[in-house]
Amino acid sequence: MEKEKMILLLSFIVVYCITSVLTLIPVWHLIIIPGIIAGIMNKSMRYGILAASTGVLTCWLVYVLFGMATRNTYTILNQIGALLFGSGSGWIFMLLILLIGAIFGLLGAVIGNIGLVLVNRYVLSENRKLKSLEN
């Protein structure tokens, strides 16, 4: 159990670092890749989802807070919110941005873990069958 928690922490750090690099490029949709890596690193889908979602969510939270402090991001979000919902609705869009990031991490972790399960089930079992036929 202790080994799984260490892998969870390591995969969180890996997801955070890769997401911070991929967020800065124009194709931010690639943040699904760190989720896939977290899904592959963790044997349990629950830990993969936890590491990927929190890693992407934390990275995007830091990015949004940095944008609020340096580039008046909240003012822009507040203006968009005022157009749609009324004055003072910028926080809705901030939560929506963070939720989208967490969902991308979750989807990546699910894809990575399902891919790992399929590889273990079919590819490795076929290799075992071939080795047993050779003997």
Torsion sign (Cα): 12, 13, 18, 24: positive
The predicted-structure confidence for 56-99, as pLDDT tens digits, reads as follows 999 999 999 998 889 888 888 888 888 888 888 888 888 998 99
Q: Are 19 and 11 in contact (CB under 8 A)?
A: no
- Indicate if the pLDDT at residue 134 is higher than 70: no
Q: Are 35 and 100 in contact (CB under 8 A)?
A: no
What is the pLDDT at residue 62?
94
What is the pLDDT at residue 80?
86
Buried b (16+ CB within 10 A) or exposed e, 32-65: bbbbbbbbbbbeebebbbbbbbbbbbbbbbebbe
The predicted-structure confidence for 7-24, as pLDDT tens digits, reads as follows 999 999 999 999 999 988
Torsion sign (Cα): 114, 5, 14, 65: positive
Residue 111: strand, helix, or coil: helix
